[in-house]
Structure formats: C-alpha cells, structure tokens
Amino acid sequence: MGDPKKSRKMWRKPKRPLNFDFMQEELFTIGTFGLKNKRELWKSRTELSRIRHQARSLLAIRKEEREKKEPILMRSLTRVGLINKDASLDDVLNLQVTDFLSRRLQTIVQKKLNFSTPYQARQAVVHGHIMIGERVITIPSHPVRVEDEVKIHLTPESSYNQQLKPPETSTD
C-alpha cells in the first residue's frame, strides 16, 4: 500500500534525456507555456500517457464492456475541455501535450486577461490575484473546466486591475 504520508511520484523522466532535438522541443514548449521546470512538462506527458493507455485498453476489450466504460472516460475529458462531445477514442489517442498545457489555469489566464507573457500570468496566479468564481486559486497548473473558464477574473483588490484594463474609448 505505501506510506500515506509519502505521495507517489506523478511523473516519469524521458527515456533518452540527452537527445538534442527532444531537448530543443522541450525548451520551446517550456517557454511557450511558461512552465517553471521540465518536471511540469513531464507531469503533463505522464498524464497524457495514462489517458492514452486507458483509451487503448478500451479498444482492446469486448464491445459490451466498452459501451459501459467509454462514456465515463469521454465525459471526464469533455468536462476538462480536451475533446468535443462527439469525439471518439481516436481523438483521445491523437491528444498532444500542448492540449493538456493549454487547459492549465496559467495559460487560460494569460489568454483571457491579456497578460503579456505566460510568466506574468504565472506570477499573478501564484500571488493570489486570480479567482475562479468566489475562490482564489494559487496553483498555476490547476486544470480549468469548461464551465469554470467564464468565471475566471481578477480579485477586486488586485493591482493588475489598473494595469490590464484596456484603454477606454471616448465617445466624442
């Protein structure tokens, strides 16, 4: 079972970490999404691997069992916004790491609230300037559900309220 105080490792290192092309791709992804370190990227890859493994195992079982279990996986991925409602298991197998990273709070805040860089959006999240509904969320990797995406806003006492407001147009 394991010690309840010590949680399980949530990521796996790449098998060939010194592959130059792979390293360049990792660095580009880290810079694009404003990740803190490569471990955050590895966590997303591991989660993608887990979901793709579930989809492959669903393809391997009998049709009667698959019809029971497939909607559960599809509903959870639709809720998070990774696939559409009418998607199939092939769409799940075609998911990329960038799909996961684009559903993080940090990335959605950057796009929705017009932060100039992903690192500025990360700082706003970590320092408690972002709310989803009535809750302040301070975890940049928080996966945002589709229904929560419209509820993202700055806290009322945030200093970003004056910095990020678009200039008001005069009606002269």
pLDDT, mean of each 10-residue run, the chain (172 residues): 78 90 95 95 95 95 93 94 93 95 96 94 96 95 95 92 67 56
Residue 111 and residue 58 in one domain: no
Residue ending a domain, among 101, 129, 154, is 101
User: In this structure, is residue 1 part of a structural domain?
Assistant: no
Q: What is the pLDDT of residue 31?
A: 95
CA neighbours closer than 13 Å in the CB half-sphere of residue 130: 32
Q: What is the pLDDT of residue 164?
A: 78
Q: What is the pLDDT of residue 7?
A: 83
Q: What is the pLDDT of residue 140?
A: 96
Residue ending a domain, among 53, 85, 101, is 101
Residue ending a domain, among 56, 77, 101, is 101
User: In this structure, is residue 170 part of a structural domain?
Assistant: no
User: In this structure, is residue 94 part of a structural domain?
Assistant: yes
b/e sequence 59-73, b meaning 16+ C-beta within 10 Å = eeeeeeeeeeebeeb
CB 155 within 8 A of CB 116: no
pTM of the model: 0.85
Domain containing 91: what range? 20-101
User: In this structure, is residue 52 part of a structural domain?
Assistant: yes
